[in-house]
Chain A
Amino acid sequence: MSATANATVAQDHHGHDDHGHHHKETFITKYIFSQDHKMIGKQFLITGLVMGTIGILMSILFRIQLAWPEEASWVFELFLGDKYATDGVMNPDAYLALVTIHGTIMVFFVLTAGLSGTFSNLLIPLQIGARDMASGFMNMLSYWIFFLSSVIMLSSLFVESGPASAGWTIYPPLSALPEAIPGSGTGMTLWLVSMALFIAQSLMGSLNYIVTVINLRTEGMSMTRLPLTIWALFVTAIIGVVSFPVLLSAALMLIMDRSFGTSFFLSDIYIKGEVLAHQGGSPVLFEHLFWFLGHPEVYIVLLPALGITSEVIATNSRKPIFGYRAMVASILAIAFLSTIVWGHHMFVSGMNPFLGSVFTFTTLLIAIPSAVKSFNYITTLWKGNLQMNPGMLFSIGLVSTFITGGLTGIILGDSTLDINVHDTYFVIAHFHLVMGISALYGLFAGVYHWFPKMFGRMLNKNLGYVHFWVTAVGAYGVFFPMHFIGMAGLPRRYYTNTNFPYFDDLADVNVIITIFAIITALVQLVFIYNFIHSIFFGKKATQNPWNATTLEWTTPVEHIHGNWPGKIPSVYRWSYDYSKLNKDETDYVIAGQDFIPQNVPLQKNEEELNH
């Protein structure tokens, strides 16, 4: 309670200079074309969750096919219809379309926009002490272009020739030639248009986040006092600005190859009895361009999750995050390295083997900052007073899957070892654990932690516990066995493995994986229920339910335009003064309260530390 008191005192101290922005809001300006960052954050989150539900449902569909290949199921009839599931048996083209769109939706629409879009919008202004984003209008445009891009991506599911089905990496020539696969017709065109819009929205968002963090920090909020969430979101935005435009250029070149007869990526092709006129292009060029975004994209997905985890673990451990400067340095190192490792996706693409050596070197370097981060998380737990809120559980889960998935990266990042596990299920296991599940855990941790800030109500914690534990068991149940079938040389993106008798003994494992996947997917319904129910009927939140130090908890529970009713609070300390003792070590600095909000000035009985 005294936290609230302190915050109010601080505000009173600065007087009530109202910033006078109280024009009347209509339903449309408040809920639809809102320029308020908190509302835009919620819009990103809800759109992301809707897309996530679709993406996960798709994965369940193709998992059913993999476990019980070519068996008829009412599930297919229901979701795919007669066209894609003749007599209830999934068609191979439907399978490829599902894996393609599943990948696209989860990577871009859920884990990029849904994660960094949500929390950058919600947290950047609130945690740095700003009234709103630098450009509210651009922020609004960013969301609506994202929305449009989502609608176009989903509409591609309903075109006659089927959605894009060349894999989410859309390597040409497969993605360029409708003769090669039906999905490369209108479906692919819509995919490219959707992604071009997606990139545009991502750039608008990112530029906004960068400018806001640089220019709109409140008095006293130096860069070294920023919460790690902001550091992570800030650096994520920078990586996005550096790498997304490259994907746009790749997409544009692909559009030209498809529609205007250019040959950036096509050469010497004979298909359906005809030689194509394209000459002189190279698919390897596309791979370079794609992965120049594609790899940083992994960190665009992951860094916000790690940032959220830093915040949630520190708050719930009632301890400062261990090694703040090392954490910031790791984020920066990861960001820098992430832009020079893309070639590890291409060790066997036919590029010069010498390049393979270089990329092995840079790739394995990334393990160092990642290891530092993991050790720092574990040390933060050490001798803490862990408050097991659902957000905390998901954060601990994230550290766990980040380690498990990250370690196999040492195998895949080694050009030699990649030769025989490249594009097998080993890769699927690796990246789903390290970026898929970890980033989803980060998303959930963020939602459980900041739900009170978003909706003014609490999520039900017991449903949160059920959600976490079943998901935790299920996620390992799905992805750990995949390492082994990958080691057996089972390629990814196979509609069925029955054409290779050598894989017959892997069938049981595929059944186990699918059952875990179904259970894990079903338990997400508990979350969805909790989410929707709590928005309307959740327990009303107090101002600072987790006793956190950061500025967002000094704003009133009810959202107001401009965030703080009075003057923006000033900042006097870093964001991790948890359980700090007074000079005599008799009690906490503020007696009886184990945290000191950032807007509380340095106390007389307190030692100033440089972090």
Chain B
Amino acid sequence: MTVFLIIVVIALLGVTFWQMSKILKLSKTGHEDSTQVANDNDNKNQGYLMLGFVVFLYIFMIYSFWAWGDFYLPEPASAHGVDYDRLMFISIGLIMTVQVITQFLLYFFAYKYKGAKGQRALFYADNDKLEFIWTIIPVIVLAGLIIYGLFTWSDIMNVEEDEDTLVVEIYAYQFGWKARYSGDDNTLGKANVRFIEGTNIVGIDKSDSYAKDDKVTTELHLPVDRPVLFKFRSQDVLHSAYFPFFRAQMNVVPGMITQFSFTPTITSEEMRNSEFMVEKVNELNQIRKERSKELVANGDVALDPYEFEYYLLCNKICGISHFNMQMKIVVEEEEDFNSWIAEQESFGETLKKEEEQKVSSNN
């Protein structure tokens, strides 16, 4: 990586100095080239540079895909994510094909038809057939993409809620997240920021009978292979709940409830042990180790080794600490989820405790 970097910098500086020296040379000869309009010599040089540039562009693109292609997120951990990735790869394949062809034509023509004295350009103003062809081809290709995309879109966005669906509220505030589970009745109690008070940090309506069994947590646990319907609520400004590993995202808007639904298909454990993630985490820990050395040398604390967890992050500018607004997500087997959720305190219990405390402090 660093080697590549150095090569790039040196190459660029090289080009700069080469051009600079050419300028100096040209400015000395003076007379023949005083119009500042490109002459045959310029056309030739710049034509070759055009060819050189398209070579650079190709190498750079190939290098990017080779070196950074694996930045792409691991296999999708949600049911719809598979369709998402398929559509993504088809689209990337398509646009890269067009990219490779058109960039070649552009720069190759620029090289091939570089001007020279006596060369005659072709007066070629129109060709209806040609223009029809390159209107209709994009039309057909795009029609295909649009139709495919729209089917996938409506599959993802049309939520069919049945008894099995787990309803979870994701609550956003500057700068963190809370999850609220709907409890045994699978119905979220009413809530509004006006009810926020003391331990009732997400503003649940005490008088709503559905609210008693709601559970507010700081981690998001999800049972694998069960559809989850997320209801998003924000306390203050716009946030965006971005679940990159699940190919899911929805803005969180104060004053309204937005929603998104997906079915997690890969547990945290499985993802952690997948070939991709093992390799990735090793690499990350290598980087962290090296960085720690520097830090320790400067008298700072070393970085902890990294272990993969799914996360939810904020993806809509929301204030000073926008860059650190995250929540851990754990996808686990149904039994593990059940025992975890059973341990969490329900809103009713919290209220009771509070009242008892009040009573005892009054005595």
Contacts and interface: CB of A to CB of B under 8 A. Distances in A.
Given A385-B113, A477-B60, A411 B126 contact: no
Interface stretch (A206-214, A253-261, A393-401): A393-401
B119 A403 contact: no
B178 interface: no
A360 B116 contact: no
A92 B250 contact: no
A94 B187 CA distance: 43
Contact of A411 (B1, B42, B91): B91
A539 B256 CA distance: 64
A471 B9 CA distance: 13
Interface residues of A, number: 141
A515 B9 contact: yes
Interface stretch (A16-24, A33-41, A234-242, A506-514): A506-514
A271 to B, nearest CB: 5
A40 B280 CA distance: 57
Given A350-B250, A386-B110, A465-B46, A419 B69 contact: no
A49 interface: no
A382 B113 contact: yes
Interface in A493-507: 493-497, 499-502, 504-507
B91 A410 contact: yes
B122 A383 contact: yes
Given A173-B254, A469-B53, A579-B121, A501 B38 contact: no
B16 A466 contact: yes
Contact of A282 (B69, B91, B115, B253): B253
Nearest to B136: A368
B313 A491 contact: yes
Contacts of A325: 126
Interface in B29-43: 34-38, 42-43
Contacts of A174: 237-238, 317-319
B240 interface: yes
B153 A515 contact: no
Interface in A291-335: 317-326
A511 B5 CA distance: 9
B342 interface: no
B90 to A, nearest CB: 10
Given A368-B135, A386-B47, A459-B36, A379 B125 contact: no
Contact of B253 (A350, A396, A516, A579): A350
B286 to A, nearest CB: 9
B121 A388 contact: no
Query: On chain B, which size bracket covers the interface?
Result: 35 or more
Contacts of B296: none
Interface in A397-456: 399-400, 403-404, 407-408, 410-411, 414-417, 419-420, 422-424
Contact of A462 (B19, B109, B238): B19
B351 interface: no
Nearest to B95: A407
A322 B124 contact: yes
6 contacts: A174-B237, A271-B174, A350-B250, A387-B37, A419-B248, A481-B64
Interface of B: 1-2, 4-5, 8-9, 12, 15-16, 19-20, 22-23, 26-27, 34-38, 42-43, 45-47, 49-50, 53, 56-57, 60-61, 64, 68-69, 71-73, 83-84, 87-88, 91-92, 94-95, 98-99, 102-103, 105-107, 109-110, 113-116, 119-127, 130-131, 134-135, 138-139, 142, 145-146, 149-150, 152-154, 156-158, 174, 192-194, 196, 203, 232, 235-238, 240, 242, 244-245, 247-251, 253-256, 258, 280, 283-284, 287-288, 291, 303, 306, 308, 311, 313-324, 326
Given A360-B150, A416-B149, A539-B35, 12 more contacts: A323-B131, A349-B253, A379-B130, A382-B109, A383-B124, A385-B121, A407-B98, A414-B91, A465-B42, A472-B53, A501-B288, A546-B37
